[in-house]
């Protein structure tokens, strides 16, 4: 699914969306000037995805390993069988995490034929009418209690959030989540919840929501959301301009990178994701959260990734991508759940 701001309809959900998709970043990084002191490209390996994840800790999203592809890639390698009840429970949790990341790459939950980007009428045709709950602003959730599922819709009746409260999710602990997916690319807090954000490709985010705010985060998952940020762009009510992107160093055949600056960052919004979107195909799509881009700048790594330091931005790519044409896309979000998107002009990698 390749949706762009120009075809996205209108408004999104506000505080109802935040309850599972809040956008206050625990790193405290600003929208356009992340703080990092290292050079843009020091070589160093990423953090071990399984390290430092204890059930009683709340990790900082500023110190996280880079993620260059959809987290659905973790959905391979089924767990080994075990006769121990505790091991069996862990294996079930691992399988469920992988299933959500795999289906989230398509904007859906596991086993759901309907997901983000579709009209809520497609759900009503199969499940009938749900219970409508209005939040502040334009947000509406349509809840189906018998399925333990809620669909968040925008003013165009497009689904922008698939939320599950199914009891099976409660067996997923933070330590298991981090051992499977690595440290969270971003952490947000809203309405006395802690939200661990894992971008799932360029179009979707999987939000693992735990009860409790900073320092009081619960140990097991409360609910899970698959969100579509582009569907929450409110073109009709947007009061800020879209950010613009200026390439400051052209792509180089030697070094395989280019640098860019961000102009007119929207006031009241935080930079959530930096994305490389190929003009055709999705195999070389690269997605980093801002904390990941800051981490990359401090530690460096190889592959397709973004780096950010002191308001300067860089996209590093592999020689195999030479000749590819695409664009940089920026996802900004605010605490009300609204999204503003900026897209660069076409860039050809040398």
Give the pLDDT confidence of 128-147 residue by residue, as tens digits.
Answer: 999 998 753 347 899 999 99
Give the closest residue to 193 by CA, choosing from 233, 238, 223.
223
Higher pLDDT, 300 or 148: 148
Tell me the pairing of strands 286-289 and 305-309.
unpaired
Chain region(s) in the chain for CATH 2.60.40.10? 244-348
pLDDT at 46 over 50: no
Confidence of residue 190 (pLDDT cuts 50, 70, 90): confident
Contacts of 165 (CB under 8 A, 6+ apart): 148, 149, 150, 222, 223
- Report the alpha-carbon distance of residue 210 to residue 65 in Å, rounded: 21
- Report the alpha-carbon distance of residue 154 to residue 158 in Å, rounded: 6
- The confidence score (pLDDT) of residue 32 equals 35
Write down the number of H helices and E strands in the chain. 5, 18
- The confidence score (pLDDT) of residue 253 equals 58
Name beta bridge partners: 306.
Answer: 315
**For the residues 311-318, what does the mean pLDDT come to?**
93
Range from 65-69, 243-247, 253-257, 316-320 carrying the lowest mean pLDDT = 65-69
- The confidence score (pLDDT) of residue 195 equals 95
- The confidence score (pLDDT) of residue 164 equals 96
Across the chain, mean pLDDT equals 77
- Report the alpha-carbon distance of residue 228 to residue 151 in Å, rounded: 12
pLDDT at 30 over 60: no
Q: For domain 244-348, give its CATH number from 2.60.40.10, 3.90.550.10, 1.10.10.60, 3.30.70.100.
A: 2.60.40.10
- The confidence score (pLDDT) of residue 236 equals 65
């Amino acid at each position: 699914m390749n949706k762009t701001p120009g075809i996205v309809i209108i408004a999104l959900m506000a505080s109802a969306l935040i309850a599972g998709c809040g956008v206050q970043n625990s790193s405290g990084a600003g929208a356009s000037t992340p703080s990092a002191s290292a050079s843009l490209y020091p070589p160093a390996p990423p953090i071990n995805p399984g390290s430092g994840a204890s059930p009683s800790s709340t990790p900082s999203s500023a110190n996280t390993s880079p993620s260059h592809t959809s987290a659905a890639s973790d959905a391979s390698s089924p767990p080994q069988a075990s006769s121990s009840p505790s091991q069996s429970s862990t294996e079930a949790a691992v399988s469920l995490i992988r299933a959500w990341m795999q289906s989230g790459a398509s904007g859906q939950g596991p086993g759901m034929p309907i997901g983000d980007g579709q009209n809520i009428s497609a759900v009503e045709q199969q499940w009938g009418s749900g219970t409508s709950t209005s939040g502040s602003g334009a947000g509406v959730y349509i809840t189906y209690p018998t399925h333990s599922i809620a669909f968040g819709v925008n003013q165009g009746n497009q689904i922008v959030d698939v939320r599950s409260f199914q009891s099976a999710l409660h067996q997923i602990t933070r330590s298991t989540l981090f051992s499977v997916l690595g440290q969270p690319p971003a952490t947000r807090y809203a309405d006395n919840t802690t939200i661990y954000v894992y971008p799932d490709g360029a179009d979707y985010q999987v939000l693992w929501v735990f009860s409790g705010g900073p320092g009081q985060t619960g140990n097991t998952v409360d609910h899970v959301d698959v969100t579509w940020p582009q569907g929450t762009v409110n073109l009709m009510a947007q009061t800020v301009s879209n950010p613009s992107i200026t390439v400051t160093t052209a792509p180089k055949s030697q070094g395989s990178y280019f640098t860019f600056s961000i102009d007119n960052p929207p006031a009241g919004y935080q930079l959530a994701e930096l994305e490389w979107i190929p003009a055709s195909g999705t195999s070389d799509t690269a997605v980093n959260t801002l904390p990941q881009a800051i981490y990359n700048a401090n530690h460096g790594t190889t592959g397709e990734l973004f780096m950010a330091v002191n308001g300067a931005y860089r996209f590093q790519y592999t020689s195999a991508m030479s000749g590819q044409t695409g664009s940089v896309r920026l996802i900004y979000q605010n605490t009300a759940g609204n999204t503003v998107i900026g897209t660069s002009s076409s860039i050809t990698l040398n």
